[in-house]
Each structure stands twice: as C-alpha cells, then as structure tokens.
Chains A and B, each alone.
Chain A
Amino acid sequence: MTGSLLKIEGLTKAYPGVVANDGVGFEVAPGEVHALLGENGAGKSTLVKMIYGLVKPDAGRMTFQGRPYTPAEPRAARAAGVAMVFQHFSLFEALNVAENVALGMENPPPMGDLAERIRAISTAYGLPLDPARTVGDLSAGERQRVEIIRCLLQDPKLLIMDEPTSVLTPQEVEILFHTLRKLAAEGTAILYISHKLEEIRSLCDGATILRGGKVVASCIPREKSARELAELMVGGEFAATDRAGRVSGATILEVDHLNLPPMTQFGPALKNVSFSLAAGEVLGIGGVAGNGQEELLATLSGERPSGAGTVSLHGQDISDLGPNDRRRLGLLAAPEERLGHAAVPNLSLTENAILTGTVRRPLTRNGFLNMGAARRFAEEIIKGFDVRTPGPHVAARALSGGNLQKFVIGREVLQSPEVLVVNQPTWGVDAAAAAAIRQSLLDLAAKGAAVIVISQDLDELMEIADRFCALNEGRLSEPRPTEGLTMEEIGLMLGGAHGMQEAAL
C-alpha cells in the first residue's frame, strides 16, 4: 500500500449542545479495509456524512487522491469516486431491482443494458441478484445487495459501509466479506463502520476508534483482542453479565399453532408458531427484523388478537384478551419502536409511566389519575435504571435512544411481570447501557419470571438466553439450548443465506 487515498486532518463539526466531531484525523490507503469503531453517539455517522458530502464540516481538511476534497453534496462525492451503503435502505418496495438501481443513477442506461450490467457485476462479485425481481419480495440481505451493486456500478475508489451486517445472517455475512475482500484486492478502499468487534478483527486491516467525537486510538484490529477493542471503545472496563442463580420452573406461557395474516402489504405472516416458556427461563428469538418479530410481539402483548387457543398463560386461554387484561395477568411487553409505540414522544416521562403502568401500579383512583403516584413511579424507574434526564417532567423525545430504552425496559421490569416480552431491547443503545438492560432481564428471570428476548444481535442472545430459536419469514424454528450451539447451526436456523442456493461458493 503506497500513499493514502483519503486523508483527513482536524475535522470538526459541532451541533447545538454537542461537538459531534472534534479534530478527527486518519488516513485510508488504496485497497485497505479500514474500520471506524465506536459506540453510538461517538461521532461515526457524522464523520462519514462529512466524507459523503451530506454534512459540511466546521473546520478541518480532507484530501482525496492527493487533491483537496470538499464535497458540497453527495453527487460531488460520487463524482469523485466515493460511494456509500447506508444502514437503512432507500429502496422502493413496489419497483424491481433494475428500476431501483436506475433511480439512483445520474444518467441511467436503457433498462435492458442496465439489467445486463447488474447481472454481470453481481455474479462477478458473488452477490447473485435477479434484476427483474420486485424489491418488496427480497430479504434484507438481498436488499443490501441492491444497494451495494448500485454503488459498484459507479466504480468507486472508496466504499463506505454503515453497519452493513446488522441485518444479515452469519452465512450472508460470510458472502459479504468475500465480496469486500475481493473489492479490496482490486484496489478499492473500504471504510467499514461497525461495533461488532469479531467482524472487524477478521475483515479490517486498520481501525480508528472514536469516543465522544475524538480519535482515542488507532490500531491493527487483528493484533488486539475483542475485549481490548471494547475497552478502547467504552474507555474503561465493563462488567460481564452474571447469569447465575436461575432455575427453570413450571411452564407459564404456551403458544400453540399461531397463524396471523400480514399486517402490511409486504409484511410477513406468522405461520404455525409454537413454543412454550417456563418460569425463570430466558428464550432468545433471533432473526433479521421484518421476519415477523413485530407481529409476534403484537400477538403476545395483546395488540393483535389471535385465534382461540393459540396463546395461553398459566393454562388459561388469553388469545382474545387486550393488552390491559394481559397486563393484569402478568404478561408485559416492550416493543421495538421506542418513539410512538413503547412511549409517546410529546408526553412527559411521568405520563409515559402511566401509559402501561395503571394496571399493575396504583396510579389511578376510580379512573382519575394520581399524578403524584405516577411521578413517584417515573422517578423510581429513572433511579433504578440510571436514566439520564433532568427529571420526570421531560418529554420522552428529549431523551437519547439509550436512555429512553432504559426507561421503557425499567417501566415494565418494575411492574414485576410474570412474563416479559422485549423486542430489540438494546438496539441503538451504547455498550454500558446495553449491559445494564441485559443484566436487568437476567435478574428478572432469576426472580422467577419468564423472559422472551427478540433480537437481531446474536451475541446478545448467546449471552443471556437459555434456549434459542429463529424467526424467519414468519416461521419459528424449534427452540434449542444455547449451550454448545455453534454459529454455523444458528445460521442454518436463521434460514442460511437467502437466494444463495444456486450460487457456488
């Protein structure tokens, strides 16, 4: 590797109240896979947005291929040879692959030529993709391929990837890495953003670690252990979760041949989902979001009633009970979407405590709100779960994602549920808060409650779940004990790599 492709010096960007990037500098060489590592809020996103021309830096200098580089907008960045694959896809579900790719191009060639090029590039890089398929029918991994191929058609010198593996099965991750290594070997530099340490150790040649908007270290990831990297990221040691002291008791919750039609046009249906859950047990449900996770939570929380006899608690059929009746019986839930589902953005934390708390806590008297009791409940949550906020009068939307998540989980845990169902409990939450949330779920199980954790984060599930099963296209696999389960087996449970059957690897 000779010279640098991208050189960044003293890049600074401040938002009201927070300095997102403070004098950041690093270099990427041609053909290098360079990791940007850091917790949520460390400034990774702001940094790549500046490189991609979405945000203008306040100060600092960027040099690309030896020339000063100041992209005014993404179009300029693309023209210079910088491409980016975002974490959230921008695809139209009702259009097909080729049409979606054409929409992202400045001068799209005729459809026939484009389809031919998509087919050629996708096979060349081991990412098979049929240009004529409707995007709404594709899996998350296949949708990501559309985004990657859209970038590769521009023949980029630098490819930025923002948390690309969060939606992929282990097999799909392998395919992606294969592609990225091939690209790097051809001289394309890759800027890889992630907080998954093992991935970075296996893929990246160099790493820049950000904390609080500053570069705190740079290293060669292969030479460090995952734990060392994590400590660099967090800036201190952190406690390992303690899963001791749990005994499995009698069966509490039983789900039997649950079927549910899709809630939205391209949403999945639940097909024949069956499992049972014992007291003191943590059941981990893995799988890429959008495969029925939201639907499963809604049928368990009572938001969507299901057919008679499909959900029973303590042997009692609760399939047609609404959320509050289920709360009364001890079945509580925390949905994935914090703002607008688990909490109301414009209401205060006190009012958000009322949202689900009135059934099991004495927050009302004859239907009238007892605001004093509600405030004390909110304060109890804030204190018990280390929610960083000026007080319970603050609107939910003013809290950071991690803090609001702690509040939501705390609100349910403190109501001493018998069964708690959580969906993506640590999504977008920093490492320390995530560890605290996981520990609180384990503590709850240790007290005899049954916990269902629906998560995309396989490491998280392996860490806290007793049994693991996967939700894929609305079907739930047979739960298996997590002990001794290999990543290979988990990948197969998750449905392997979508659409890869015909591709020889």
Chain B
Amino acid sequence: MITLIKRPTPSRFWSFTTPVLAVIATMIAGGVLFSILGKDPVQAIKVIFWDPLLGPNAAYFRGQLLVKAGPLILIAAGLAVGFRAGIWNIGAEGQYIMGALAGASVALAAYPAESHWLFPAMVVAGALGGWIWGMIPAVLKVLFGTSEILVSLMLVYVAQNFLAWAAFGPLKNPEGYGFPGSRNLQQYPSAHNPELFAGTGMHWGVVAALIAVIATYVLMQRHIAGFRIRVAGEAPRAARFAGVLPANLVMFCLGLSGALAGLAGMFEVSGPSGQITDSFNAGYGFTAIIVAFLGRLNAIGILLAGLLMALTYIGGDMAQLMLGLPTAAIQVFQGMLLFFLLGFDLLTHYRLRLGKGSK
C-alpha cells in the first residue's frame, strides 16, 4: 500500500522536477496511444518534439514557435495572477477576441491614413477591449456575487458571435469580393505588427509577452500587491485581516488578465493572422489556462510552458500532416500533459511511503 505523508514545507526539488516528469510520462502514455492508433510511437514523438526544433525543416518551424508561444505566454501571465488569488478567469478566449476586434476596429476606422500614432492607439484599444470584457464578470461578481467562472466562460460565446457579426458585417472588407473577413492589416503599414527580425517569428506581441513575464514576476515576488494576491489565494480570511479588500482584488485580477488577453488578440490580428474572420480565434485563451498551470502559476515557469505548448502545437500539426494522426489524438496528447502535471504535483506537497500504512 502507498501512504501519503504531507510535507511540512513544499519540496523545492520536486516543484522543479515534476514538470519534467510530467513531460516524460506524457511521452510514454502518448506513445502508447499512438501505437494503438497504428503509428510508430518513437517516430510520432520525434515528429512532435524533435523535428520542429532540429529537423530538416526546422528553420521555418522555429519562427512559428514564437508566433504560437507569444499569445499563450501573454495570456497565461495575466491568468496566473488571478489564479494565484483564487479568481478563475476561464474566459480569456473571449477577451482575446474582443481585444482583437477593438484593435482592428481602430485600424480599419483610420484606413487608409498612415500615422505613427495608429499602432500605439491600437495597442491601447486592444488592451481596453479585453479589459472591458474582463470587467463584466468582475463587476457582476462584486455586485451580485455571481461566479466569475461561469460568467467569463459564457462571455466567450457572446464574443464569438460578436466576431462573426463583425466579420460578416461592419468590418467586412468592401473590396473583398463578398468574402467574409476584414481587410488584411498586413497590407496596411501603419497598422501592421511585423516580424521584427526575419525568420525569428519575433513580433511586438512576443516583446509584450516578455515584458508581461518580467512585470508579473516582479509583481508577485517582490511587490506588496503581489504578496497580498498570494495571501488571498492561500487564506482569504488572513488576506482580509491584512487589509485586502476582496472587491478590489477581483477587479484587479480580472481586469489585468482581460487586458493582457486583449493585447494578445490585437497583436495577433495585426500580425500573424492579419485579418478579422469568423474563425479568427484559435483557442489560445483556453490553452493559456493549461500553460498557466503547467508553468506552476509562476512567471518564469509560464515562459517555458508556453514554449513547450507551442512546440506540441506545431509538432502536433506536423504529426497530423506527415503521419496522418487525427486531430483528436493530438488534443488528447495535450490533455495528458496537464493531467500528468497535476498528478505529479502531489509529490511537491506529499511524501510517498511504500509499505504498510498506519493511521
């Protein structure tokens, strides 16, 4: 029998080791899954984890890595702050859409005027769009005690309908021959969020993600506000005793994660994606939740987790293409990663003892 014994203090060693163990376990379980599907497991794992970085076509994929990781990290950095406080923003996907819509609307309203001020204005609009979408569940929670989990999640579907309406209606490209979707911002120099160094995939959204990682790290580890956020998540009564007002905390956390998600959407629409379409959102807002937990809600961890997640995205696409693996299998594979991570997390807080357990 296995007995669990709670550690007096969480183990530092295991909090660094468990993510690695989780990745290894995911590879093994994923390999089993792939071999059941009739594919060579070693080949599949190699295509997913190895080829995008060091395979024959790696030069192209390495750029894709930052393009995919940027929004994930930017969104997850904001979500993690709220998760630390026990405030569950599940609707980053909706805030991402609204940020993109707000940013694109500013650009399309100014079209075709060229100005240095346009892009900064889009940045502000994008953050504001996401912030407003995040503040709706915050205000409802503060005023009426609604669950921010449900409200933020349901607002994703509202945002998706907004997106479809905008793509088919007001933001539709008048010169688009009737196809749904907006003008392509990549062809509008003042509004374009370009690749900063050719072939790296680095754009302003990636820069913003790095700044967000550093800023949230400093906030959570070094600033009294971050300290209070952590206390609120660990022990709400102690937080109130330390002078934290729950209403302010809810608004700050949902506002911050909403604004960062909105920024991610804006950088995406003005850069890699280029235009508003009804299928613009690619699930970054939901995947970022996994990234936040995979990174142990720690800014540096999120940076690494975002890169890893982006890798499984790209590798997963390749595996679909080259080995004919179904999309569902890739999604199961990504789900396994979170499953194993949360499972192994036990080792951080508990010691395992084999043998006869006593009460």
Q: Are A356 and B224 in contact, with the CB atoms below 8 A?
A: no
Q: Are A322 and B243 in contact, with the CB atoms below 8 A?
A: yes
Question: Is A303 in the interface zone, CB < 8 Å from B?
Answer: yes
Question: Is A462 in the interface zone, CB < 8 Å from B?
Answer: no
Q: Are A346 and B222 in contact, with the CB atoms below 8 A?
A: no
Q: Are A355 and B238 in contact, with the CB atoms below 8 A?
A: yes
Question: Is B241 in the interface zone, CB < 8 Å from A?
Answer: yes
Report if A395-B224 is in contact (Cβ < 8 Å); known contacts: A344-B238, A347-B234. no
Chain B residues, Cβ within 8 Å of A342: 238, 241
Question: Is B245 in the interface zone, CB < 8 Å from A?
Answer: yes
Residue of B nearest to A348 (CB): B9
**What CA separation (Å) do A504 and B262 show in the bound complex?**
74
Question: Is A351 in the interface zone, CB < 8 Å from B?
Answer: yes
Report if A301-B241 is in contact (Cβ < 8 Å); known contacts: A346-B10, A398-B9. yes
Q: Are B235 and A367 in contact, with the CB atoms below 8 A?
A: no
**What CA separation (Å) do A394 and B5 show in the bound complex?**
18
Chain A residues, Cβ within 8 Å of B358: 56
Question: Is A343 in the interface zone, CB < 8 Å from B?
Answer: yes
Residue of A nearest to B237 (CB): A341
**What CA separation (Å) do A348 and B245 show in the bound complex?**
23
CB neighbors of B among A322-350 (8 A): 322-324, 327, 333, 335, 337, 339-348
Q: Are A367 and B225 in contact, with the CB atoms below 8 A?
A: yes
Q: Are B231 and A355 in contact, with the CB atoms below 8 A?
A: yes
Chain A residues, Cβ within 8 Å of B223: 367-369
Q: Are A346 and B8 in contact, with the CB atoms below 8 A?
A: no
Residue of B nearest to A359 (CB): B243
Q: From residue B271, how far is it (CB to closest CB) to chain A in Å? A: 34
Q: Are A347 and B224 in contact, with the CB atoms below 8 A?
A: no
Q: Are A394 and B235 in contact, with the CB atoms below 8 A?
A: no
- A-facing mask of B242-268, CB < 8 A → 1, else 0? 110100000000000000000000000
Chain B residues, Cβ within 8 Å of A358: 224
Question: Is A285 in the interface zone, CB < 8 Å from B?
Answer: no
Of A322, A345, A364, A393, the contact of B234 (CB 8 Å cutoff): A345
Q: Are A356 and B241 in contact, with the CB atoms below 8 A?
A: yes
Question: Is A55 in the interface zone, CB < 8 Å from B?
Answer: yes
Q: Are B9 and A364 in contact, with the CB atoms below 8 A?
A: no
Question: Is A75 in the interface zone, CB < 8 Å from B?
Answer: no
CB neighbors of A among B1-15 (8 A): 5, 8-10
CB neighbors of A among B77-125 (8 A): none
Q: Are A337 and B237 in contact, with the CB atoms below 8 A?
A: yes
Report if A369-B359 is in contact (Cβ < 8 Å); known contacts: A323-B242, A340-B237, A344-B235. no
Chain B residues, Cβ within 8 Å of A367: 223-225
Chain A residues, Cβ within 8 Å of B179: none
Chain B residues, Cβ within 8 Å of A323: 240-243
Residue of B nearest to A393 (CB): B9
Chain B residues, Cβ within 8 Å of A324: 242-243
Of B5, B231, B243, the contact of A344 (CB 8 Å cutoff): B231
Chain A CB within 10 Å — which of B5, B8, B227, B241 has the most?
Answer: B241
Q: Are A55 and B359 in contact, with the CB atoms below 8 A?
A: yes
**What CA separation (Å) do A351 and B230 show in the bound complex?**
11
Chain A residues, Cβ within 8 Å of B224: 354, 358, 364, 367-369
Residue of A nearest to B236 (CB): A340
**What CA separation (Å) do A333 and B238 show in the bound complex?**
12
Total interface residues on A, CB under 8 Å, equals 37
**What CA separation (Å) do A335 and B237 show in the bound complex?**
10
Q: From residue B292, how far is it (CB to closest CB) to chain A in Å? A: 19
**What CA separation (Å) do A416 and B99 show in the bound complex?**
50
Q: Are B243 and A56 in contact, with the CB atoms below 8 A?
A: no
Q: Are A343 and B227 in contact, with the CB atoms below 8 A?
A: no
Report if A369-B222 is in contact (Cβ < 8 Å); known contacts: A303-B240, A341-B237, A342-B241. yes
Chain A residues, Cβ within 8 Å of B240: 303, 323
Chain A residues, Cβ within 8 Å of B359: 55-56
Question: Is A498 in the interface zone, CB < 8 Å from B?
Answer: no
Chain A residues, Cβ within 8 Å of B241: 301, 303, 323, 333, 335, 341-342, 355-356
Q: Are B245 and A341 in contact, with the CB atoms below 8 A?
A: no
Of B225, B227, B234, B243, the contact of A346 (CB 8 Å cutoff): B234
Question: Is A145 in the interface zone, CB < 8 Å from B?
Answer: no
Chain A residues, Cβ within 8 Å of B237: 337, 340-341
Q: From residue B9, how far is it (CB to closest CB) to chain A in Å? A: 4
Chain A residues, Cβ within 8 Å of B227: 351, 354, 369
**What CA separation (Å) do A55 and B230 show in the bound complex?**
37
Chain B residues, Cβ within 8 Å of A351: 227
Q: From residue A346, how far is it (CB to closest CB) to chain B in Å? A: 5
Q: Are A16 and B5 in contact, with the CB atoms below 8 A?
A: yes
Chain A CB within 10 Å — which of B10, B224, B235 has the most?
Answer: B235
Q: Are A340 and B238 in contact, with the CB atoms below 8 A?
A: yes
Q: From residue B180, how far is it (CB to closest CB) to chain A in Å? A: 48
Chain A residues, Cβ within 8 Å of B235: 339-341, 344-345
Of B8, B238, B243, the contact of A394 (CB 8 Å cutoff): B8
Q: From residue A311, how far is it (CB to closest CB) to chain B in Å? A: 16
Chain A residues, Cβ within 8 Å of B242: 323-324, 355-356
Q: From residue A332, how far is it (CB to closest CB) to chain B in Å? A: 11
Q: From residue B249, how far is it (CB to closest CB) to chain A in Å? A: 13
Chain B residues, Cβ within 8 Å of A397: 8
Report if A398-B8 is in contact (Cβ < 8 Å); known contacts: A342-B238, A345-B235, A369-B224. yes
Q: Besides A344-B238, A347-B234, 18 other CB < 8 A contacts?
A: A16-B5, A56-B359, A301-B241, A323-B240, A323-B241, A323-B243, A333-B241, A340-B235, A341-B238, A344-B235, A346-B234, A354-B224, A354-B227, A355-B238, A369-B223, A394-B8, A395-B9, A397-B8
Binding site for A on B (CB under 8 A): 5, 8-10, 222-225, 227, 230-231, 234-235, 237-238, 240-243, 245, 358-359
Binding site for B on A (CB under 8 A): 16, 55-56, 301-303, 322-324, 327, 333, 335, 337, 339-348, 351, 354-356, 358, 364, 367-369, 393-395, 397-398
Q: What are 14 pairs between A and B in contact, CB < 8 Å? A: A55-B359, A324-B242, A327-B243, A341-B235, A341-B237, A343-B238, A344-B235, A344-B238, A347-B230, A348-B9, A354-B224, A358-B224, A368-B224, A395-B10
